[in-house]
Structure 1
Amino acid sequence: KTRLVRARMDQAARLVRVSSTMHRTFGLAQWQQLRDVLLLWRANVQGAHEAMANVAAA
């Protein structure tokens, strides 16, 4: 964990509130790593959303 961003996610309101950030210079490798992390996070959020929809439909 790099603690470069502090944020809270409000799923009900569909918001992400960023409370602080830290400036850092990224090279190509860091941008690619960030992309991979965000794609994985996105897939996990989609999976959680689908699971919650299935529970709500049951």
Structure 2
Amino acid sequence: MKLHIDNMTCGGCVRAVTRTITQLDDKAAIEADPESRTVILETTATGADVIRALEGAGFDARPA
């Protein structure tokens, strides 16, 4: 799954996004790039659950 997160702009944001996703799936494989504001992940969680969790953490996520 690939997501675009408009307000993921720094390493601190990447850590927060990673922490949020791993709370849903502690075995998720996450590749985040703050420069392009994209996250590529492999997870057992649904896309809707991931987006909802990220929005709850203050990140505006959408499919990329």
TM-score w.r.t. structure 2 length?
0.29
Q: Which has the higher helix share?
A: 1
Larger radius of gyration: 1
So what's the TM-score if we normalise by structure 1? 0.31
**Which has a greater percent of strand?**
2
